[in-house]
Structure 1
Amino acid sequence: MSSPHRWCSPLLLVLAACGSKPTPGPQLRVEHPGDTLRFAVIGDYGLASPEEEAVAHMVEGWAPDLVITLGDNNYPDGRASTIDENIGQYYHAFIHPYRGRYGEGAAENRFFPTLGNHDWHTPGPWPYLDYFDLPGNERYYDLVWGPVHLFALDSDPNEPDGSTLDSEQSTWLRERLTASTSPWQVVYMHHPPYSSGDHGSTPRMHWPFAQWGADVVLSGHDHHYERIERDGITYVVNGLGGKPERYAVGRPVAGSAVRFNEAHGAMLIEATPTRLELRVHPDVVQDDQALRRAAAKQARLPEAEVLAVLVRRRAIDARRGRVWLQLAVDLVRRGEAMPAEPALAPVELPALRGEPPVVVVGAGPAGMFCAWALAQQGIAAVVLERGKPVRPRRHDLAALAKRGELNPESNYCFGEGGAGTFSDGKLYTRAHKRGDVQQVLDALVGYGAPARILVDARPHIGTNRLPRVITAMREHLTSAGVGLHFERRVEGLCTAGGRVTGVRLHGETIPARAVVLAVGHSARDVTAWLHAAGVPLVPKPFAVGVRLEHPQALIDDLQFGPLAGHPALGAASYRLVERACGVGSFSFCMCPGGFIVPAATEPGGQVVNGWSPSSRGGRYANSGFVTEVGPDQLRAAGLSPDDVLAGLALQRRLEQAAFEA
């Protein structure tokens, strides 16, 4: 094939075919009935984790025709005891024959992996070879699916047929590539021929892929995304498939066009006989050269005078039919010193003092940051949480999702980090007196949140990342002496002389110099025992409603029009407000590219919530749409507005009706 035409943006590559080649002999051929073949590419993903789960959800939302992998399918050692948990748990619907325990497999195999170095660990590749049924010798093979000829290589040095230019495997690839007549030739493997990451380039894989006819060469190993243009073809490194550790990117290798390591993700490739489009998700990389050019123009400076452009705030304005990417930047001119970036790390906490301690009830964001603020002042605190830590809490969520088994003490609302841990991780406040929000954002980045939350107008960590951030925060607090205890439900207050002196748990009391109730909106039992104890309570209006779900592509088209899908924009969101008959209705907790989950806390009730992974790459968007509930609405429901618990009674009534329906 003659060199294809190219159109590029940071995370989007489009190739257009210009010719054809002589006769192939693929080891597997699959006819594709549609006009466009869609397949997902994941690399360095195989470790059962929230990160892998989020990437798998995103891939599932694309409804791809097949999935290919770039190796390291089964961390840490490629053992038979971990392979189904690491792979089948998330991708069994693509695998045939599937013999695992996580559900039905595919009618025909649509999962085509490559071996990585972790798949070659003790006891060698045998668990991988036993688990999959692949073409050829299963270590390296080729297949034609519609307009694409795929060539899977084993780049590991342990490969029996070799992985150097003079190897038997290299000869096999050269013969297959030069004989292929497919419109597109895609080679994929684990070790990157070229990479700017920690592992770096792999000289033994410097094969003449372009000369032999490859259009694209895909690899993993380094846990970042990179696009490299060399020898007239495109090389891609994509190791962001779910292994929690993401690698730093060093000095760019020759031809490196785009580098990114801020989030996990996958690649979606769409192919027709005349067009090959590669897009990596999430689409959050900016074009530095274009930004420098625009900033220089705005400042009326020659572009050569601009040393760097530092983004301080980023927002998207899609109102009134036009789409604007709004950036607030600092411009550094040549000859000026680069401003020092703050070293964002957990703050040093002093020795804690105070006996008895402050007792904080609830380990959601309010409770955790209350303990954090107290610790910064050297004040001893004990946090009591009715739910479980992040990791065991996941098992209760799985039981709820798969078997409908609700644990009233450990669910989407109760547990370490509160409701946001597994239901989105948006960062916003509607309060007008917001305090030092920047201090909170800095702290979250110090605990591992992505640095982009410091500049995004609508910062979002994502359910796939937030558990790790919360765990780091907990470990930092406990190392400084903060007590953090799980599965400890507070049942009442201890008082003496009209003052609170502690809290009561089942069978014990804990003395306290002060008590902070950071219990969230779902701890109705706390409100009940406070009321029974004579604590003054004041009812306030609230809102109830439904959660809407719609195709993300529809929202993108409505908001961005012809710019929908542009890498700089990502998934679109919206906010709606309406007032009718004197009552306000509005959208709430809009989740682009997200998922809907059951969020009940009481048996016999049903309520739902929504969340998005950090990539916001799912196929569907969802949003709460709610209406105000005040005294008039309570009266209409047969409840007395004078009853301070009437609102909770209405909530419970609605949840029970939803469950029974």
Structure 2
Amino acid sequence: MTELQLTLSPEQSADNQFIKKQIAKNLDIETNDISEFRIIRKSIDARGRIPLVIMQLRVFINENTDKHIYQEPFNYRNVSNKKEVIIIGAGPAGLFAALRLIELGFCPIIVERGKNVKERKVDIANISKNKELNEESNLCFGEGGAGTFSDGKLYSRSNKRGNTNRIIEIFHYHGAKDEILYEAHPHIGTDILSVVVTNIRKTILECGGQILFSAKVTDILIENGKAKGVRLADNRVLKSDYVILATGHSARDIYRLLQEKNIAIQAKGFAMGVRVEHPQEL
């Protein structure tokens, strides 16, 4: 295996046979010697009159290859009989926390006030069609969180807060296209994102985890200064020595509850984009 970089025109970068010939030329080998090549990074240089595509390639020469190579294999195993951890919220933080808990040998129990993706789509359609708002199942609440029906852009490549490439691999493992593994500005796409979220749910359930929809948390049970479980709106009580709060920014009732219980809350800065629409004459 070896790596090399090619600078091509947009047309050339879309032609795998041309790319293969360029690889062979650069490495001074025959095209038949190339078992496979994979794009590991792709970006566009638009500074000149003619845009160029810069491709970082991993080339396998006369060797067997697997279909995909991740940084490390995913260790999603059966945790149905393992120690349970309650996760409040089935947005990105909650779903990814559940996947990581499974890898670490814990059984996640996600409680989500909203509905699953399929049922949530109906409630969102009702907002514009019938002017009806389901306060627990809408653009903010439900499986996948507030971003489920967004474009799914994955622009962050910062390594300051963890391995972002691993996150992208998890999206890919659960159904996102190959392009997100190497594009400089990857995005999953609205139509695929809901499928990816559904597949993440399937992984959690197949490993023995649980996801409770339409299960609104109304109280966090605390004993001797430690969380011991949650109470739901229907008065069900779930017990666990570990509770992960992954509610997102829209669950204001949860933040009021934390304040009432004198649980420390610290404000966090965030970046916000703004779109301004105005008459054309302005």
TM-score, normalised on structure 2?
0.82
In the alignment, structure 1 residue 489 sits paired with structure 2 residue 216: yes
Q: Is the 8 A contact 1:360 1:382 kept in 2?
A: yes
* Counterpart amino acid of residue 342 in structure 1: H
Distance 1:494 1:304, change over 3 A: closer
Shift in Å, 1:541: 3.4
What per-residue deviation string (whole Å, max 9, x for no partner) do you get for residues 518-537 of structure 1? 11122222222212221112
Kindly report which structure 2 residues correspond to 1:606-617, keeping only aligned pairs within 5 A, or say none. Answer: none
Once residues 330 and 542 of structure 1 are traced to their aligned partners in structure 2, the CA distance between those partners, rounded to angstroms, is: 36
**In the alignment, which of 418, 423, 428 is matched to residue 145 of structure 2?**
418
CA distance, structure 1, for counterparts of residue 30 and residue 69 of structure 2: 29
Residue equivalent to 2:28:
301
- 1:66-98 per-position Cα deviation (integer Å, ceiling 9, x unaligned): xxxxxxxxxxxxxxxxxxxxxxxxxxxxxxxxx
Following the alignment from structure 1 to structure 2, what is the Cα–Cα distance between the partners of residues 311 and 430? 17
2:116–2:142 contact (8 Å) kept in structure 1:
yes
Name the structure 1 match of 2:240: 512
Aligned residue type for 2:89: G
Residue aligning to 1:243: none
**How far is the alpha carbon of 1:398 from its aligned partner?**
0.6
The 1:346–1:388 alpha-carbon spacing in structure 2 relative to 1, beyond 3 Å, is farther
Q: 2:164 aligns with which of 437, 451, 472?
A: 437
Residue of structure 2 equivalent to 1:342: 68
Contact 1:420–1:426 under 8 Å retained in 2 = no
Q: Which residue of structure 2 lines up, in the alignment, with residue 522 of structure 1?
A: 250
Letter in 1 for 2:67: E
Instruction: State the secondary structure of the residue aligned to 1:359.
Output: strand
1:390 corresponds to which of 117, 120, 137: 117
Distance of 1:541 and 1:367 partners within structure 2 = 20
Q: 1:304 to 1:368 in 2, by over 3 A?
A: closer
Provide the residue aligned with 1:311 in structure 2.
Answer: 39
Cα gap change, 1:305/1:419 in structure 2, threshold over 3 Å: closer, same or farther?
same
**Aligned-residue offset at 1:484:** 0.4
Q: Equivalent residue of 2:124, what SS?
A: helix
Distance 2:114 2:152 in 1: 18
In structure 1, how many angstroms separate the alpha carbons of the residues matched to 2:69 and 2:22?
Answer: 28
Q: Which letter does structure 2 place at the counterpart of 1:426? A: K
**Cα 1:317–1:489, aligned 2, differ >3 Å: closer, same or farther?**
farther
Q: What is the Cα deviation at residue 349 of structure 1? A: 0.9
Change (3 A) 1:534 1:379: same
Q: What is the letter of the counterpart of residue 394 of structure 1?
A: K
Q: Which amino acid aligns with 1:287?
A: D
Distance 1:306 1:404 in 2: 62
Shift of 1:416: 0.6
- Determine helix, strand or coil for the equivalent of 1:459: coil
Q: In 1, are the aligned partners of 2:102 and 2:108 still within 8 Å (CA)?
A: yes
Distance 1:430 1:539 in 2: 24
- Counterpart of 1:522, as a letter, is S
Distance 1:443-1:491 versus aligned 2 partners, 3 A rule: same
Q: How far is 1:330 from its partner?
A: 2.0
- In structure 1, stretches of 5+ residues that fail to align are 1-8, 12-284, 551-661
Q: Is the 2:76–2:102 contact (alpha carbons within 8 Å) kept by the matching residues of 1? A: no
Distance 1:430 1:494, change over 3 A: farther
> Please, what is the CA RMSD of the aligned residues?
2.9
Q: Show the counterpart of 2:14.
A: 286
Q: Is the 8 A contact 1:350 1:376 kept in 2?
A: no
Instruction: Tell me, in whole angstroms, the C-alpha distance in 1 between the residues paired with 2:196 and 2:239.
Output: 30
1:545 offset after TM fit, Å? 5.7
Provide the C-alpha distance between the structure 1 equivalents of 2:270 and 2:173, rounded to a whole number of angstroms.
34
- Indicate how the Cα distance of structure 1 residues 351 and 526 shifts in structure 2: closer, same or farther if over 3 A, else same: closer
Identity of aligned residues (%): 37
1:374 to 85, 94, 101: 101
Query: Which whole-Å CA distance do the structure 1 matches of 2:23 and 2:10 have between them?
Result: 18
Aligned to 1:547: 275
1:346 offset after TM fit, Å?
6.9
**Aligned position for 2:265:** 537
1:516 positional shift: 0.7
Contact kept in structure 1, 2:76 and 2:99, CA below 8 Å: no
Kindly tell me the number of residue pairs found equivalent between the two proteins: 265
Aligned-pair CA distance for 1:413 = 1.9
CA contact (8 A) 2:85 2:241 kept: yes
Aligned to 2:225: 498
Q: CA deviation at 1:492?
A: 2.4
Within the alignment, does 1:452 sit opposite 2:179 as a pair?
yes
Q: Contact (CA 8 Å) 1:426, 1:459: kept in 2 or not? A: yes
- Does the CA contact (< 8 Å) of 2:78 and 2:208 recur in 1? no
**Offset at 1:493?**
1.4
Which digits, 9 at most, give the CA deviation of each residue in 1:627-647, with x for residues without a partner?
xxxxxxxxxxxxxxxxxxxxx
Go from structure 1 to structure 2 and tell me whether the alpha carbon gap of 1:446 and 1:347 turns closer, same or farther (over 3 Å shift): farther
1:310 Cα offset (Å): 2.4
Alpha-carbon contact 1:360-1:383 (below 8 Å) kept: yes
Contact kept in structure 1, 2:115 and 2:213, CA below 8 Å:
yes
Task: Give unmatched runs, 5+ long, in structure 2.
Answer: 1-8
Read off the aligned partner of 1:512 and give its amino acid letter: S
Within a 5 Å distance, the mapping from 1:112-261 to structure 2 comes to none
2:224 and 2:155 mapped to 1: Cα distance?
A: 40
Alpha-carbon distance change, 450 to 544 in structure 1, aligned in 2, over 3 angstroms: closer
Q: Is the 8 A contact 1:317 1:326 kept in 2?
A: yes
117, 130, 134: which one aligns with 1:403 = 130
Q: Identify if the C-alpha distance between structure 1 residues 290 and 429 changes in structure 2 by more than 3 Å, giving closer, same or farther.
A: same
If each structure's strand is expressed as a fraction of its own residues, which one has the higher value? 1
SS in structure 2 of the partner of residue 315 of structure 1: strand
String of CA shifts for 1:118-147, please: whole Å, max 9, x gaps. Answer: xxxxxxxxxxxxxxxxxxxxxxxxxxxxxx
CA distance in 1, matches of 2:109, 2:228: 14
Shift in Å, 1:293: 3.7
Partner SS state of residue 311, structure 1: strand
Which deviates more, 337-346 or 322-331?
A: 337-346
Equivalent of 2:196, from 448, 458, 469?
Answer: 469
> Matches of 2:80 and 2:31 in 1, distance apart?
53
